[in-house]
Amino acid sequence: MAATYYLRWILWTGGHIEARTEGTDRYGRALTLLLVDGEGVARRMVEAGLARWYDGGRRASWCD
């Protein structure tokens, strides 16, 4: 829930929102870069501890 609220806050308080499609994954889904005021939303989510980078390997659990 914290990640959802943080993302909504980023979108509501941001000025310029841009979505760039950058190809597709192996299942044909669009890979999209979301930018708010020129800054990547994914990076902000990771820096806030609400997301992790994914390199295509096995996903790690959120539980420690």
For residue 64, the model assigns a pLDDT of 61
Q: Are 53 and 38 in contact (CB under 8 A)?
A: no
Give the 3-state secondary structure of residue 55.
coil
Whole-prediction pTM value? Answer: 0.77
For residue 49, the model assigns a pLDDT of 93
**55 has pLDDT over 80:** no
Provide, for the chain, the percentages of residues in helix, strand and coil under a 3-state DSSP scheme, each rounded to the nearest 5: 30, 25, 45
Q: Of 61, 60, 56, 57, nearest to 25 (Cα)?
A: 56
pLDDT digits (tens, 9 = 90+) for 11-41: 999 999 999 999 998 899 999 999 999 999 9
Q: Where are the domains of the chain?
A: 2-47
Q: What is the mean pLDDT of residues 49-59?
A: 85
